[in-house]
Every structure is written in structure tokens, then in C-alpha cells.
Amino acid sequence: MFKRFIIALTLINFWLATASVFAAGEGNLKMLGFSSDSQFFILTESVREDASGIPSAKIIIADVATNQCVDGGCFSKEGAEEDTEQQVLHKIYQQTWKRRKKLKLTPPKTGYQAKGPRFDKKRKTSYYVHDNLKIYVDMQQKAVPGPYEFYEKAAVQLTVSAVGKKGKVTKVLDSLSNYRQDAQRYELVRLFVSPDKKSIAILVRVFFRGFEGPDIRTIVETAKLF
């Protein structure tokens, strides 16, 4: 049985789709990475709904420094039952080609994938490691009880900290007052360090209440650390 909870974590967030658009199952991540100048981050995700068989896809193009979507860079599309996920993604790629080219995202650069998440028992928080850099991520989650055994909605607040040449840097992203409808919980996934090694992008899974099980989608948290 679900209960009201508060856990620990920190970062940025973009949610480009609603629970009604993406149905039960887990999305497939496709295009992923930074622009060649490390100023922007892109992610595309597609899924075929188990119940209806309808494919859909979304794109996120984020300004790394502000952790906000660029103008016209974040949206979703739904295809017909006979379409493939790749066909829906292709329409998104066509629609965003000029914008992606202007932002130096054709193709994107993966940067460096940090190792983790790991858990620091002493500090009771998660962290990632890249070279000699340790990036701590403290996540707080808050959920509102709903009908039956599910939450009505849940929010997440992320705090990222690391020590660079100029000392400790801390970024607080998102808010415990920013609820996502039907969200049940959040989970850290991968952390990428930008090609210039000054910024990060963290992928976070969001578990939504679905018709035939959890709908698992991805949000992106970005920050310029150094």
C-alpha cells in the first residue's frame, strides 16, 4: 500500500507530456546528448501504448544553464495505430531540424556518462563520479494520497552539489510544490557531463499511474555547475 512519503534528491525538470498521452509501459530513449558548445541538451522518447496500440513520442530541447525548454523545443506527437514509433519520431525530427541545426544539435554529443548513482551511507545521499569529480544529488519527494492505493500526485525537489576549482557549488532545482498529476514516485537514472565538463544533465524516471501498470517516463534536469 502506498503511503505519504518524503525522500531525498536534487536537479532540474521538464515534463513534456501528460499521463493521457503516454500509456502503460516504459518509454524508449532515442536521440540524447549536448550541443557541440555544451549550451543545450536534447532527449527524445517514444512509446506504444499497451492498451490502445497508439504510438507517441516527445522531444525535449533544454537550455542547460536555465533548465528550461527552448522556444518550440519541447512537445509531443501521437501517431495512428498503424504507425511505428520511429515514424512518429521522424515527424518530430523533421519539424525540429532547423532549430536543432541552429543550436548545434545535429548530431548531439553524448559528453561523458558519470558512474552511478551510488549511495553514500555517511551522508545518506546519492552521488555520481566522473574522473575525480564527485557530484552529490539529494532528492526530496512528496506525494498526496489519492483513491485506493495510489497517490493523486507527486512532486520532486532536487539539490545538486559538487566541489570545483572555485569551491563548492550547489544548485536547487524543481520544487515540492510543483506536483505532477498521477505521478507516484521518482527515480534517478543516468548523469551526463557536458563536453566542456562545466555542465550536467540528469535523467530522472517518473512513475505515473497507468491503466495496466505504471507508465514510466523520463524528465531531464540540467545545470551549469562551473
Which tops the pLDDT comparison, 12 or 64?
A: 64
Rounded distance between C-alpha atoms, residue 55 and residue 21, angstroms? 9
Residues sharing a CB contact under 8 Å with residue 18, sequence separation 6 or more, in sequence order? 181
Q: Given this model, what pLDDT does residue 8 score?
A: 35
Is there a domain that residue 155 lies in?
yes
Which tops the pLDDT comparison, 22 or 195?
A: 195
Is there a domain that residue 76 lies in?
yes
CA dihedral 116, 217, 210, 151 (to 10 degrees): 60
Is there a domain that residue 74 lies in?
yes
Q: Given this model, what pLDDT does residue 25 score?
A: 60
Is there a domain that residue 94 lies in?
yes
Is there a domain that residue 54 lies in?
yes
Structurally, the chain folds into a number of domains equal to 1
Is there a domain that residue 16 lies in?
no
Q: What is the pLDDT of residues 65-103, one digit of tens each?
A: 999 999 999 999 999 999 999 999 999 999 999 999 999
Is there a domain that residue 111 lies in?
yes
Q: Given this model, what pLDDT does residue 84 score?
A: 95
Question: Structural domain of residue 105, as residue ranges?
Answer: 25-224
**167-181 β-sheet, strand order:** 115-120, 125-130, 133-145, 151-164, 167-181
Q: What is the pLDDT of residues 12-45, one digit of tens each?
A: 344 433 333 333 466 799 999 999 999 999 999 9
Is there a domain that residue 5 lies in?
no
Q: What is the pLDDT of residues 154-193, one digit of tens each?
A: 999 999 999 988 899 999 989 899 999 999 999 999 999 9
SS3 assignment for the chain: CCCCCCCCCCCCCCCCCCCCCCCCEECEEEEEEECCCCCEEEEEEEEECCCCCCEEEEEEEEECCCCEECCCCCEEEECCCCCCHHHHHHHHHHHHHHHHHHCCCCCCECCEECEEEEEECCCCEEEEEECCEEEEEEEEEEEEECCCCCEEEEEEEEEEEEEECCEEEEEEEEEEEEEEECEEEEEEEEEEECCCCCEEEEEEEEEECCCCCCEEEEEEEEEECC
Query: Are the C-beta atoms of residues 109 and 64 closer than 8 Å to each other?
Result: no
pLDDT (mean) for 198-215: 91
Query: Are the C-beta atoms of residues 180 and 154 closer than 8 Å to each other?
Result: yes
Which tops the pLDDT comparison, 53 or 196?
A: 196
Of 6-20, 49-63, 89-103, 131-145, least confident by mean pLDDT is: 6-20
